[in-house]
Amino acid sequence: MSSVTVIYRSPFETAICSSDAAINIDNPRYPPQIRGMPEDLEGVVATATRLSHVDGKAGRLTIAGYAVEDLAPYASFEEVAYLLLHGRLPEPAERVRFTQDLAGRRALSRLVLEVLHEAAATQARPIDALRMAAALLSLGREESAGDDAMTAIASFPTIVGAYWRALNGQEPVPVRSDLPHAAHYLHQVFGAEPSTERARALATYLNTVCDHGLNASTFAARVIVSTRSDVISAITGAVGALKGPLHGGAPGPALDMVFEIGTPERAESVIRAKLDRGERLMGFGHRIYRVRDPRADVLARAAERFYASGGDQRLYDLAQQVEATALRLLRERKPERRLETNVEFYTALLLHGLGFPSELFTPTFAVGRVLGWSAHCLEQLRDGRLIRPQSAYIGPTGLHYDRGPARPAV
């Protein structure tokens, strides 16, 4: 069934959808437009954006005009941040000013550090600690969208680093303003200045995941800020949305599968057994991409370069063999459905190679994606209206509430 739904009229265009995913409400009491409604907003265009475009058929991701493969491996995180927040790449003097501004916002307040300390005492998951600390970033500051965005982007690496160290009984590392963003994050987590290769590999990762159309957490952020709430509230909500295993939580299990396989000869039998049991192979398939996720290519090349420069080459080779075997068996099992490698497979390999424990995979995703959330919030505040869809009521009607003899009306 096909339908056309107007979600809201943006300043740019009327946002419409044409979707085959229809809720199957066959009760004749429901009006026809509800019966044809797209399920879970699949295929619905709910806003217009200049920030990024996901072309699932061609396997292309465009970030503010640039193909992800042209931008992510070469630009600094600061350049990409400027691009998304200002709509164009910075001139050299603008880049210097922007870099200094961002670096000047890295330190955490005493209260945030105390909360992280308390959270560590309860062994809270790092992504939960990040959400708690994110909410506190507005304390003691005037609410201002641009400032809030910059502060959140600058603070996320410090929060994750400080929390991971607290969890491991270590003191936080004092912030440094002379390191680029990606290098500073590595310094915050591991307490040592990273090599150029490590910093480059992480910057490539952060750039690759910084924005991806109207994904669930970005949509959550836009909905929150569309009420004219503040950017910190929106970012806090977005962290909550990212935490779910259907969104930001897949790279850990993808890596577990590579470790479980262990040696190339076991790849075929282990993967066949998983598919026989009806399990899904983590790191493969995508809701929107029907071809290989372009981010997987960018990260595969980054991982290849990084592992060749002194990483565990055996693990990289094993992962490649696992990928090839998985793709072959998925084609064999599901010839009618193109299931290709997605971003999570090589995310796991790259972040593991950089020394990140799997508990920090999702928080590290947030360190990159907070840029997209922030840029979307600013865009929504500038151009958007209140996002307020409707629901189809499918509950009962006409029930009678028995007031009882002793309950007078109030």
Pairing mode of beta strands 66-67, 52-55: unpaired
- Point out the catalytic residue in the list 212, 286, 352, 376: 286
Q: Select the residue interacting with ligand COA from 49, 342, 362, 380 (CB under 6 A).
A: 342
Q: Counting contacts by CB under 6 A, is residue 217 touching ligand COA?
A: no
Contact with ligand COA (CB under 6 A): which of 156, 284, 307, 316? 284
Catalytic residue among 323, 340, 344, 379, which?
Answer: 344
Rule CB under 6 A: say whether 250 interacts with ligand COA.
yes
Tell me: does residue 343 bind ligand COA (CB under 6 A).
yes
With binding defined as CB under 6 A, does residue 201 bind ligand COA?
no
Query: Would you say how long the chain is, in residues?
Result: 410
344 counts as catalytic? yes
Residue 344 sits in the site that holds ligand COA (CB under 6 A) = yes
Q: By CB under 6 A, which span of 210-218, 222-230, 297-305, 334-342 interacts with ligand COA? A: 334-342
What does the per-residue mask of binding to ligand COA show for 112-141, with x meaning CB under 6 A?
A: ------------------------------
Interacting positions 254-283 with ligand COA (CB under 6 A) = 280-283
Distance from the first to the final alpha carbon of the chain: 49
Positions in 300-319 near ligand COA (CB under 6 A) = none
Q: Which is nearer to ligand COA, 50 or 334 (CB)?
A: 334
Compute the least distance from the CB of residue 395 to ligand COA, in Å.
Answer: 27
Tell me how far apart the alpha carbons of residues 71 and 73 are, in angstroms, rounded to a whole number.
6
Cα–Cα distance for residue pair 330/214, rounded to 1 Å: 28
Please report whether residue 323 would count as binding ligand COA according to CB under 6 A: no
Q: Catalytic site residues?
A: 286, 344
Q: Which residues bind ligand COA (CB under 6 A)?
A: 250, 280-287, 334, 337, 339, 342-344
